Amino acid sequence: MLDAFEILTTSGVVLWSKCDASVGSHIVNDLINDIFIEEKARPQSSSVEIGAPVYKKEKYSLKWKRVKDFGLIFVAVYQSLLHLSWVDKLLDDIAAIFVDLYKDQLRSSRCRIVEYPFDKYFDKKIQELEDADGVIHNEGYDAIANGKKDFFVSSDNGGPPPPSVPSVPKEAQHQAAHTTVISDESTPSQSPNISRSSTPVLNPILTGKGGPGGRVSRRARKAAHANANLSSGEEGVRKAKASKAGGKRMRKWDADGLMDEDNGEILDYSAVAGSEDASAPTIEPVSQDSWGVKTAKGQFILKDLGDETHSISEKAKANASAGVVESSFNAISGLLRNIVGGKVLTDTDLESPLKAMEEHLLKKNVAREAAVRLCEGVRQELTGQKTGNFQSVDSVLRAAMESSLQKILTPTSSLDLLHEIQAITSPATKQQAPRPYVISIVGVNGVGKSTNLSKICFFLLQNNYRVLIAACDTFRSGAVEQLRVHARNLRELSARENVGDVELYEKGYGKDAANVARDAVNYAATNKFDVVLIDTAGRRHNDQRLMSSLEKFAKFANPDKIFMVGEALVGTDSVMQARNFNQAFGPGRNLDGFIISKCDTVGDMVGTLVSMVHATSIPIVFLGVGQHYGDLRGLSVPWAVGLLMK
């Protein structure tokens, strides 16, 4: 069943939780980190799935629901092995109930510190859903399951079920069942009779057929609930719960029994059912009676609770439908509010500005996929939000887009290359032996791998490192010669300024690049180089054969950093390039960063930055901004956002 359920605010405080100790807090932290902040696995906007999205971590699956008005996140954690079909409904219902119950507290400034005594509502809801789940599974067809559930709900509100009262709707329902399931029932008049003769009779049939397993688990569950309540609670509540479970089960089996009966007749087990009929009623009614008597008062409390939760759920539904009707009235005042501000944004308000925003991003050379996703994210963030005073929809949208661009481009931890090299080449502790720092550069043909490699080399030389350039492009003719020229130039430059030292490691053409790379690293280690820069052959990202050799390369050379060079000019293709290269190094190895070259040629159309980061969540580390060795820059996020929003 559920391992944990947490209600937390976006500011990070858990308002209420029901937790199994074994679920570490890092599970939810990872969810927040991966989904909400880094947005690594954003659900595809195209597939509007019915249920809540799922996040899998270790052996757990997490589902969540956000309530934006209050900045709340509802998270349900359960073992991935279990297929709990009712988690979506649980999240929806709990969210509605919680918000409705505590909206005053949540609005107040002390929302983070007041106590939320939510346990009993939650337990009740869980119980209900688990039971309803049983109905669905036994029946196997949804339409009737829904009808039955609703019916069950109303009878639940109506107090303890005397056999005669619900019989009328039950018969009607039974008819419905008949129309849907065409079963050759020989004696239609018999089934209402049985159901009217009340649950005690049917119970044994059900338990007999449903298998003892299901029954035991239900008992165990109930016991678990009772235990959980022991700690929190007064006797009364606990008893009430137990009795509620009993009472509920009784009614539920009613519904179940109806179904089971059908099945029974189809499968023609009537003889068995009959024989059990005779023996069982003497046992079961007694126990149920005793529950009822013992906890008459408790049951009362429980019913209130049930009423309350149901009315809240229904109110929420009603509100949702009322909203559509009211929207036409709001349209006029909406026009005014659009100018004055203080307008609650709806999907329709946002539609055309978002379309315009998407066009704008596309013009900035952002790949369509990324633009759509960004707009979708902004839409989800903004719907239901109220605009500030004298704030137009456009300016709100702009601000939201700016911050979401900033968020996507900002790396989680900034790369301090010099520091990392320092840590590897002259480690602080004695246990680590110093070794050269290995950087390799990959990318498609002609994007400027060798040029950017020499720029990095120049930067490292300025910082007085000894650099070995390894020419592992053993494929394209002229590649080694090109590097030789760069190496010679750089050597001259460094000699003039008397900083650093650079050497070229080359083994000609035709050799296996992975072997050359490994040899180069070994050579660097024996000759006390600080950094090895490995140039690789350019390859099309959709060329299977060449891409697959990268895995071996990564294993042999074992680079500390793998950077991919991408052109700022490339458009939509950037997404696939980034993805394919990111996956080419085998499991457990990814790219470490992008170098975007030729940024000086695109003006403000720097959308490629966004496309690449969007596709992989891998940060951009350098930008190439010119033809000279010194034309390498770090990324300034506000600069990029400014250009994109211009």
Ligand X SMILES: Nc1nc2c(ncn2[C@@H]2O[C@H](COP(=O)(O)OP(=O)(O)OP(=O)(O)O)[C@@H](O)[C@H]2O)c(=O)[nH]1
List interacting residues with another protein (CB under 8 A): 8-15, 17, 25, 28-29, 32-33, 36-38, 71, 109-110, 112-115, 403, 406-407, 410-414, 416-419, 428-429, 459, 462-463, 599, 622-623, 625, 632-640
Longest dimension (CA), the chain: 106
Site for Mg ion in 191-210 (CB under 5 A): none
CB of 124 to another protein, least distance (A): 23
Q: Rounded to the nearest whole angstrom, what is the least distance from the CB of residue 407 to another protein in the complex? A: 5
Count the residues of the shown chain that bind ligand X, applying the rule CB under 6 A: 2
The two three-digit tokens of residue 547, written as one number = 């891409």
DSSP-derived letter for residue 387 is P
DSSP character string of 491-522? HHHHHHHT--EEEEEE--SSS-HHHHHHHHHH
Residue 13 or 322 with smaller CB distance to ligand X: 13
CB-nearer residue toward ligand X: 9 or 422: 9
For ligand X, give the closer residue by CB, 25 or 183: 25
**What x-and-dash track marks residues 531-550 binding Mg ion by CB under 5 A?**
--------------------
Minimum separation from the CB atom of position 12 to ligand X (A) = 5
Residues 6+ positions from 445 with CB-CB distance below 8 Å = 476, 538, 539, 540
348 binds, among Mg ion, ligand X, another protein, none (CB under 5 to 8 A by kind): none
C-beta of 27 vs 487, nearer to another protein: 27
Rank residues 521 and 640 by Cβ distance to another protein and give the closer one. 640
CB of 412 to another protein, least distance (A): 4
CB of 544 to another protein, least distance (A): 34
* Span 5-34, contacts to Mg ion by CB under 5 A: 12
* Contact indicator for 239, 315 with CB cutoff of 8 Å: no
Q: Which residues pair with 79 in a beta bridge?
A: 60
Structure tokens at 47: 């597939």
Nearer to Mg ion, 32 or 525 (CB): 32
- Closest CB 143 distance from another protein, rounded Å: 40
Q: Which is nearer to ligand X, 38 or 88 (CB)?
A: 38
- Name the residue nearer to ligand X (CB basis): 12 or 603: 12
Closest distance to Mg ion from the beta carbon of 12 (Å): 4
Question: 406 touches which of another protein, ligand X, Mg ion, none (CB within 5 to 8 A by kind)?
Answer: another protein
Which residue's Cβ has the minimum distance to Mg ion?
12
CA–CA dist 1, 221 (Å, integer) = 9
Please report where in the chains the tokens 């073992």 appear, as a residue.
79
Q: Which long-range contacts (C-beta less than 8 Å, at least 24 apart) are formed by 516-522? A: 516/470, 516/471, 516/472, 516/474, 517/440, 517/470, 517/472, 517/553, 517/556, 517/557, 518/556, 518/557, 520/468, 520/470, 520/472, 520/557, 521/436, 521/438, 521/470, 521/557, 521/558
Residue 194, binding choice from ligand X, Mg ion, another protein, none, Cβ under 5 to 8 Å by partner class = none
Q: How far, in Å, are 336, 565, 616, 617 from residue 590 at the CA level?
A: 51, 14, 9, 11
- In the complex, least distance from residue 29 CB atom to Mg ion, rounded to whole angstroms: 11
586 binds ligand X (CB under 6 A): no
With respect to ligand X, which residue has the nearer C-beta, 17 or 45? 17
Distance, in Å, from the CA atom of 439 to the CA atom of 424, rounded to the nearest integer, reads 12
Cβ closer to another protein: 338 or 406?
A: 406
Q: Minimum distance between the CB of residue 25 and another protein, rounded to whole angstroms?
A: 7
* From the list ligand X, Mg ion, another protein, none, partner contacted by residue 51 (C-beta under 5 to 8 A by kind): none
Tokens of 413: 């931890």
| Under rule CB under 6 A, residue 12 binds ligand X | yes
Identity of the residue, 23 or 177, whose beta carbon is nearer to ligand X in the bound complex: 23
User: Which residues touch 187 (CB under 8 Å, ≥6 apart)?
Assistant: none
- Give the integer Cα–Cα distance in Å for 611 and 637: 14
DSSP string over 239-293: HHHHHHHHHHHHHHHHHHHHHHHHHHHHHT-HHHHHHHHHHGGGTHHHHHHHHHH
CB of 115 to another protein, least distance (A): 6
Cβ atoms within 10 A of the Cβ of 210, count?
Answer: 17
Whole-angstrom Cα distance, residue 139 to residue 180?
12
Name the amino acid, one letter, at 631: D
CB of 3 to ligand X, least distance (A): 18
Which amino acid is residue 617, in one-letter code?
S
Residue 254 CA to residue 169 CA, distance in Å, equals 13
User: How far is 106 from 98, CA to CA, in rounded Å?
Assistant: 10
| Residue 25 within binding range of ligand X, rule CB under 6 A | yes
Residue 164 binding target from ligand X, Mg ion, another protein, none, CB below 5 to 8 Å by type: none
Q: Which CB atom, from 29 or from 275, has the smaller least distance to Mg ion?
A: 29
Residues contacting residue 421 through CB under 8 Å, at least 6 positions apart: 437, 460, 465, 530, 531
Radius of gyration of the chain (CA): 33
Please state the φ and ψ torsions of residue 552, each to the nearest 5 degrees.
Answer: -65, -40
Rounded distance between C-alpha atoms, residue 582 and residue 450, angstroms: 20
Query: Smaller CB distance to ligand X: residue 25 or 146?
Result: 25
- Mapping DSSP to helix (H, G, I), strand (E, B) and coil, where does residue 402 land? helix
Q: For residues 177 and 183, give the distance between their C-alpha atoms in angstroms, rounded to a whole number.
A: 10
Of the two residues 25 and 157, which places its CB atom closer to ligand X in the complex? 25
Q: Nearest distance from residue 11's CB to Mg ion, in Å?
A: 7
CB of 72 to ligand X, least distance (A): 16
Residue 462 interacting partner from another protein, ligand X, Mg ion, none (CB closer than 5 to 8 Å by kind):
another protein
117 binds, among another protein, Mg ion, ligand X, none (CB under 5 to 8 A by kind): none
32 contact, one of ligand X, Mg ion, another protein, none, CB 5-8 Å limit per kind = another protein
CB of 14 to Mg ion, least distance (A): 11
DSSP H or E run through 470: strand 466-472
In the complex with Mg ion, which residue's Cβ is closer, 263 or 410? Answer: 410
Confirm or reject binding of residue 24 to ligand X (CB under 6 A). Answer: no
Structure tokens at 601: 């040629």
Closest CA to 593 of 385, 458, 440, 447: 440
Contact partner at residue 300 from ligand X, Mg ion, another protein, none, CB < 5 to 8 Å by partner kind: none
Stretch that binds Mg ion, among 4-12, 69-77, 171-179, 520-528 (CB under 5 A): 4-12
State the binding partner of 84 from another protein, ligand X, Mg ion, none, CB within 5 to 8 A by kind: none
- Select from another protein, Mg ion, ligand X, none the partner in contact with residue 407, using the beta carbon and a kind-dependent cut-off of 5 to 8 Å: another protein
Q: At what angle do helices 199-210 and 212-232 cross, to 10 degrees?
A: 110
* Sign of the dihedral defined by the CA atoms of residues 422, 428, 434, 437, in that order: negative
Residue 115 touches which of ligand X, another protein, Mg ion, none (CB < 5 to 8 A by kind)?
Answer: another protein
Tokens of 349: 């308000």
Q: How far apart are CB 16 and Mg ion at their closest, in Å?
A: 18
Is 470 exposed, middle or buried, given 0-12, 13-18 or 19+ CB atoms closer than 10 A?
buried
Interaction site with ligand X (CB under 6 A):
12, 25
Interaction site with Mg ion (CB under 5 A):
12
